[in-house]
Amino acid sequence: MIIVVRPGMLDLVVDLGRPGYRHQGVPEGGAADTPALIHANRLVGNPDSMAGLELTLRGPELLFPEGGVIALTGADMDARVNGGRLQHGEAQELEPGAKLEIGMARTGARGYLAVAGGLDVPVVLGSRSVFLPGGWGGWQGRALRSGDRLPAGREGGQAEWLRMPEFTPCPDCCLRVLPGPQLGSFSDKALVSFLDQVYTVDADSNRVGIRLQGVSLEYQGGELASQGVLPGAVQVPPSGQPIILGWDGPVTGGYPVIAGVISTDLPRLAQLKPGDRVSFRMVGVEQARMAWRRAATWLS
C-alpha cells in the first residue's frame, strides 16, 4: 500500500493505455512518455504494461508502510527517501515506513514512478490508466489527493538492468512532423511560418492538447467535416494558433490538420512545459520509420 501524504501538481495512475476503443470515442490515453514508464517498470522487475504514476512538474510526498522497490524515470525531479537522495533511473529498495518526497522537475515535465508489483487499481476497458476528461479509470477517475491509499503489488519479477539514453532537456525542442491532410489548404506564407518560426508552449496546455503561441497561420480551405485524429496531430483552430493533440485528446476533430508529430517524438512532446520553445521540421515517411526503428532498439 502507498499512502499519499501530499499530492503533487498532477499525479495520475497510468499504464500503456487502452487501444482498440477509438471507434467508441475512447482514446488510448496511457503514459505520455511511454519509454520512461517502460524503463521504470523494467528497473523494478515489472512487465512493461504495469501501472505506475505519472507526475507532472512537481511530485507528491508518499508513505510506504510496507516498504517496496521503486524507480523514478522521465523528467529529472528532485526526489528524496527519508531525507536521502533518490538516484534518478535506478531501482531502490525502501524499508517499511519509508517516506518518499518528490519535488519540482529540474528539467522536463513528467516523471514516472514504478513500484515493484505495480499499482493494483481496477481495470477499465483493458487498462488501469485514468481518463481524466471522462472521470473514470486509474484511481477513482481522478488525480491523487491527500489521504489516498493506493493498493500496490508486493513484489515484481526479475529486475532488468537497462541502459536508457540520458534524459535530455528540450527547452528549445524541434519536433519532426509528417504532412497533414489539410497541408495544401494553408497559404504559402502560413507554411513558411509554420516551419520557420519558434513557438512557445502556452500555460493552458494539458494531456488533451499542447497549445502553442506564435504567428497565426492562415487557413484558406473551406469548412471541414469531422475527421479522425491521433495524438500528435497539429490542428489549427480559427485563432491560427496551433494545438498539438495529446494523449487524452479527442478521436475526431473538425479543425484542419497541418501536420502530425511522428510517433518517435511524442515522448519529447510529453516533456514540454509552459514557456518551452518548439519548432517543427518536415520529414518523409521513410525518415519517420528509420527514427522509430532506432528508438525501438533498446526495447528489443
For residue range 16-30, list pLDDT tens digits in order.
999 999 999 999 999
Which CATH architecture best describes the domain 172-299?
A: Beta Barrel (2.40)
Of the two residues 165 and 109, the one the predictor is more confident about is 109
Ranges of each domain in the chain: 2-150, 172-299
Number of H helices, E strands in the chain: 4, 20
Q: pLDDT-based confidence at 153, cuts 50/70/90?
A: confident
What's the half-sphere exposure (Cβ side, CA atoms, 13 Å) at 225? 0
Q: What is the pLDDT of residues 264-285, one digit of tens each?
A: 999 999 999 999 999 999 999 9
Residue 62 pLDDT? 98
Share of the chain above pLDDT 90, in %: 90
**pLDDT, position 297:** 81
Q: Label residues 40-77 b or e (16+ Cβ within 10 Å = b).
A: bbbbbbbeeebbbbbbbbbbbbbebeeebbbbbbbbbb
The conformation of residue 184, written as its DSSP 8-state character, comes to G
What's the whole-number average pLDDT of the chain? 93
The 10s digit of each residue's pLDDT in 237-262 is 999 999 999 999 999 999 999 999 99
Q: Given this model, what pLDDT does residue 296 score?
A: 83
Q: How many CB atoms lie within 10 A of CB 92?
A: 18
Confidence at 65, pLDDT banded by 50, 70, 90? very high
pLDDT number for residue 300? 62
Sign of CA dihedral 250, 267, 117, 139: negative
pTM equals: 0.93
Amino acid at 106: R
What is the chain's Cα-based Rg? 20
What's residue 157's pLDDT? Answer: 55
Across 286-294, average pLDDT? 93
39 pLDDT tier (thresholds 50, 70, 90): very high
Q: pLDDT above 70 covers what percent of the chain?
A: 93
- Encode pLDDT of 73-103 as tens digits: 999 999 999 999 999 999 999 999 999 999 9
Q: Is the pLDDT of residue 113 over 80?
A: yes
The pLDDT of residue 167 = 52
- pLDDT tens digits, 161-183: 555 555 555 667 999 999 999 99
